[in-house]
Structure 1
Amino acid sequence: MVKDNLLRLAKREGWQGEVRTLSCRSERVLIGAGDVVMKAHAPLTNSQDLKARLNIVSMEPWNQVFLKPLRQDVFDLGDDRVATAWPLARVLDENQSKIPWEHAAWVLAKLHSIPIDRKAFAFEAPKSRAVTRVKLALAQLYDVSENERDAVWQAIDASGKTLDLSDEADQPTHWVHGDWHLGQIVDISFGSQPNLRLIDMEDMGIGNAAWDLARPAAFFAAGLLSAEDWQLFLETYQNEGGRALPRGEDPWLTLDNPARSLVVQCAANAWIKAREENRSYRDDEQLLINACERICVTPISI
């Protein structure tokens, strides 16, 4: 149904070319039509909030950091679904032999360096949804019956209780992507020299930039990211003027709570997905669960 509605949208707007499914998940669907990518957002997405974010990432200097939308329109697909339209770009390959962590750090540092000017918009600047995403993952975890709550569930639950997810943990001091990982980066150069942009701006807004560094920090702490890659990412981010981490200070003073939060979020999502698919945990998921078990023992640090 969603795919059909996107195809009708393409026909109505005159977007022609080869039609292909780029991604199809329960919460989002991406359909390509030539050089246009149509994205159906998650059910019940707030269209006004989405429109505000579209307007922001279309403006200078945000459009030098985010992929600029093809149109600033939010298209109603019916059935509580809305869509947006984007130019085609090359998604960063997370499986390539040499992941450009320095380029990833550069684009994040650039985003975090954009000054906050609330007078720049005719609407209220949106708040980052980074902390909200952690809360939603925990809410899904708790939405199961008592007899389903196994030892892994107990470990994730216990580690979740160590987190600070209050408003004070996400003070509005920077522009934040809100759900940053390598899959949120595209290259618009299609050449040898990368020209990177961020995508998926549904969670972007004003918040604490440390939450954008939380996933690589969490993956390093869980053993999913090598010390070499983590150090390269961290040093490049600071050298490029990234404002989340004060120079000369232990970065974990800033990153500990956000990193633990992302460990818990990712582990909760892994637990839910493994149950839904009736399978055992993958190696990367098991490492996140192991990290949750360590958090339970030593909650002040991972």
Structure 2
Amino acid sequence: MASHDHSPAGDLLAGVPLDGRPSSGRLGSPAPRRPADADPALPAALGRLGRAATGSHTGVTVLADRQDATVVRVGAVVVKAHPPEAEEGALRRRLAVAAHPLTAASLLPPLSPASPREQGAAVPDGPGPHRVGGRLATLWPAGRPVDPRDPDAAPWEECGRLLAALHAVPLERLERDTGPLPPAGAPGRVTRALDILRRDVARGGPAWLRRAARAVEAAAGTVPPATRAPAPGAPAPGAAAPDGRVALTHGDFHLGQVVMAPAGRWRLIDVDDLGRGDPAWDLARPAAWYAAGLLPAAIWERFMDAYLAAGGPCFRGTRTDLWGRLDPPARALTVQMCALRLAEAFREDREPDEDEAALVAACERIAASGPAVLP
């Protein structure tokens, strides 16, 4: 097995639960909870759309009901209500990307009139997005997720190959059919997390929140401008790698974004942050887990070896610049995770737990290390 040199990030992030709460088996990003004023009728409305798609009266199972997404399953169909701020044109282009033959080896395609489904019924108005209860909604074939209780058994090699295939999609050919793609959403997620924390502090948060927020802000200050919010009129953050490389990127990759498709192959799901961007962002979360000692070295090697063997373009086929490429987005993701966890603790009227305190400590170490250096 090839060897990947350990990063200085290992010293900065050691012991930090970068996926939020690894002890509980959580594999994805921390997600906003559902607000008290959310529409209680939305899951049922999504279920009706799913039943129209399947042509059956199968029961509705709520898979997720949060501020940023409500997801239900109806038989072999999954229906998702996207974030309230989702822009219809951008989502339509992202759906076109997921349905395009060039991404067939990496992305789960949305359901469309040509897709097989229960009862042979057609989805109304094609793959969408559809309007349900004032929200944009999409339909997908149901897949089997990674078991969150056994992350070590996750399909890490397949994840590496899926990301390599996604990053290698020829953008110019793709955009001739789909139109211009929006920027990938990963850097924007960092900015939104900081905004949430800043609002909580401005509302007169307790002393512990103000102290922790200072550490988060200091860590954010070490992240290069390319990974932070742009000035008005400037290019979107993370729209390209430091050397100008642009790829089709997922924008929010973690193990919760991988499912076994009905055809028996692993595929990436969730197109909300799909777009043009720096492919290093898709690799940065596993890199941060590894640097923190949360992802065993053998699994990290399997993941990266599979990515590079499949022609993943992030590193130009070499390993020498690996950590230099991944350090800035890994820092940014640490800031994002910490900001969201602190905001969650504040909403729950409690002080940070052990995992959240570890994230604050990581931000303090990042701040003390000085600015990240772009490759």
TM-score (normalizing by structure 1): 0.90
How much has 1:74 moved relative to structure 2? Answer: 1.0
Aligned residue number for residue 109 of structure 2: 68
More deviation in 2-11 or 172-181?
2-11
Aligned residue number for residue 23 of structure 1: 64
User: For 1:222 and 1:17, how far apart are their aligned partners in 2?
Assistant: 44
Is 2:220 aligned against 1:151?
Answer: no
How much has 1:158 moved relative to structure 2? Answer: 0.7
CA displacement, residues 219-272 of structure 1 (integer Å, 9 cap, x when unaligned): 223333233322322222112211112304131111111110111111111111
User: For 2:177 and 2:336, how far apart are their aligned partners in 1?
Assistant: 32
Name the amino acid aligned to 2:187.
V
Q: Pick closer, same or farther for the CA change 1:208–1:198 going to 2, 3 Å.
A: same
Q: Pick closer, same or farther for the CA change 1:288–1:227 going to 2, 3 Å.
A: farther
How much has 1:201 moved relative to structure 2? Answer: 0.7
Name the amino acid aligned to 1:93.
D
Aligned residue number for residue 147 of structure 2: 93
Is 2:160 aligned against 1:105?
Answer: yes
How much has 1:279 moved relative to structure 2? Answer: 4.0
Taking only the aligned residue pairs, the percentage that are identical comes to: 35
Name the amino acid aligned to 2:324.
L
Aligned residue number for residue 310 of structure 2: 240
Higher relative contact order (CA 8 A, sep 6+): 2
Aligned residue number for residue 121 of structure 2: none
User: For 1:76 and 1:189, how far apart are their aligned partners in 2?
Assistant: 26
SS of the residue 1:73 aligns to: coil
- C-alpha contact (below 8 Å) 2:183/2:274 kept by paired residues: yes
How much has 1:99 moved relative to structure 2? Answer: 2.4
Q: Pick closer, same or farther for the CA change 1:4–1:266 going to 2, 3 Å.
A: same
- C-alpha contact (below 8 Å) 2:161/2:310 kept by paired residues: yes
Q: Pick closer, same or farther for the CA change 1:251–1:122 going to 2, 3 Å.
A: closer
Aligned residue number for residue 250 of structure 2: 177
More deviation in 270-279 or 162-171?
162-171
- C-alpha contact (below 8 Å) 1:222/1:290 kept by paired residues: no
TM-score (normalizing by structure 2): 0.74
Aligned residue number for residue 37 of structure 1: 78
Q: Pick closer, same or farther for the CA change 1:156–1:276 going to 2, 3 Å.
A: same
Identify the match of residue 323 of structure 2 among 252, 263, 288. 252
CA displacement, residues 8-49 of structure 1 (integer Å, 9 cap, x when unaligned): 323444353232111222211111111111101111211111
Name the amino acid aligned to 1:219.
W
Is 2:136 aligned against 1:82?
Answer: yes
CA displacement, residues 80-118 of structure 1 (integer Å, 9 cap, x when unaligned): x11100111001123215222112111111111111215
SS of the residue 1:21 aligns to: strand
Q: Which runs of 5 or more residues in structure 1 are unaligned? A: none
Identify the match of residue 213 of structure 1 among 263, 280, 283. 283
Is 2:224 aligned against 1:164?
Answer: yes
Aligned residues: 298
SS of the residue 1:271 aligns to: helix
SS of the residue 1:131 aligns to: helix
Q: Pick closer, same or farther for the CA change 1:145–1:287 going to 2, 3 Å.
A: closer
CA displacement, residues 117-157 of structure 1 (integer Å, 9 cap, x when unaligned): 15522522222111111111111121123542432211111
Aligned residue number for residue 2 of structure 1: 42
SS of the residue 1:216 aligns to: helix
Aligned residue number for residue 273 of structure 2: 203
Aligned residue number for residue 176 of structure 2: 120
How much has 1:54 moved relative to structure 2? Answer: 0.6
User: For 2:357 and 2:57, how far apart are their aligned partners in 1?
Assistant: 44
Name the amino acid aligned to 2:342.
W
Q: Which runs of 5 or more residues in structure 2 are unaligned? A: 1-40, 113-126, 227-234
More deviation in 177-186 or 146-155?
146-155
- C-alpha contact (below 8 Å) 1:176/1:205 kept by paired residues: yes
User: For 2:166 and 2:275, how far apart are their aligned partners in 1?
Assistant: 11
Identify the match of residue 231 of structure 1 among 278, 283, 301. 301
- C-alpha contact (below 8 Å) 1:91/1:183 kept by paired residues: yes
- C-alpha contact (below 8 Å) 1:90/1:190 kept by paired residues: no
How much has 1:3 moved relative to structure 2? Answer: 1.1
How much has 1:57 moved relative to structure 2? Answer: 0.8
Is 2:361 aligned against 1:290?
Answer: yes
Name the amino acid aligned to 1:126.
P
User: For 1:218 and 1:22, how far apart are their aligned partners in 2?
Assistant: 28
